[in-house]
Homo-oligomer: A and B are copies of this chain.
């Protein structure tokens, strides 16, 4: 009840109140050792009565586990890594673990520094994430590591990714299912793996309905607007545009509106990312692919917990995306 009395409660206090030795109290509270059930219960009650919470420092030192994991992100702006972070934090806090945040700002020197300090703090494991889906060099540490969003270049490492191809395919399949027959794809720079993967999957899925080639540009509304002019000139029959990002899709919608094309009656548009500020503000709201990044973060944390518990995962796992259908493809 009363918060924060003067001296903090140690396990010896609990032990004294329960009439046992500190070692016994520890066993009772951690469900280890051989104790009579009533003794266990007595200690437990004493702990509760005193509001005892084990001191993390002592615990870490003696148990060898710090109940802490490090999260290394290269992504300062955080568009993608924030949801992953939050998901991971959520999953970890359920397991009484805490998350140490390290933002490398894409600087290898800083990364190296952080790896050292995490090791010095004896974290139980590390989650590595980044802003791009490009595989990255693994970090060399003697503790479990899970790569989230961007895989390790070592295929034996545990990596968890978004199924980009599946995501793009689902959007295009939806366009086909709703009767579209002339589908183009507009996306980001060709040097970005995610752009290429989505474009390839879109083209494959669209089959005869694909109006290629995929247009590579930048991840911006401006490019979306510009791409519309190119597309309409090349494919007068165009009735759908699948985009590599919500920003591009929003630009596409804007330009189509300016040109008097009705969405989705004349042309349907799909985005990618389900970035609410883009997808919902777009006129009309965008049908788009949700990356479920928070779930990805949760899973990454779960895999790490497994590894810490002695059941390591190996190899790459791809997480399914979720198609969110809104007015840009379906007249209401």
Contact = CB atoms under 8 A, between A and B. Distances in A.
Contact of A247 (B60, B113, B220, B281): B281
Given A57-B121, A78-B82, A98-B121, 20 more contacts: A3-B140, A53-B120, A54-B120, A56-B66, A56-B121, A57-B60, A57-B122, A61-B61, A68-B100, A71-B101, A78-B86, A82-B82, A85-B101, A89-B103, A90-B103, A98-B101, A221-B281, A222-B281, A247-B277, A247-B281
4 nearest A-B pairs in the assembled complex, by CB-CB distance: A56-B121, A53-B120, A57-B60, A57-B61
A38 interface: no
Nearest to A61: B57
A153 interface: no
A317 B60 CA distance: 37
22 contacts: A4-B140, A53-B116, A55-B122, A56-B121, A56-B122, A57-B66, A57-B122, A60-B60, A86-B103, A89-B101, A89-B103, A90-B103, A93-B102, A98-B100, A98-B102, A98-B121, A99-B101, A100-B101, A101-B101, A247-B281, A277-B277, A277-B278
Contacts of A177: none
A310 interface: no
Interface in A105-133: 113-114, 116-117, 119-122
A316 interface: no
A96 B221 CA distance: 41
Given A56-B120, A78-B78, A119-B53, A99 B96 contact: no
A89 B247 CA distance: 29
A181 interface: no
A76 interface: yes
Nearest to A92: B101
A101 B68 CA distance: 11
A16 interface: no
Interface string A281-308: 1000000000000000000000000000
Interface residues on A, range: 35 or more
A235 to B, nearest CB: 26
Which one of A89, A101, A113 has the greatest number of beta carbons of chain B within 10 Å?
A101
Interface in A55-76: 55-58, 60-61, 66, 68, 71, 76
A86 B76 contact: yes
A142 interface: yes
A82 B90 CA distance: 16
A234 interface: no
Nearest to A52: B120
Contacts of A99: 100-101
A141 interface: yes
Interface in A9-49: none
Contacts of A53: 116-117, 119-120
Given A4-B141, A86-B103, A220 B281 contact: yes
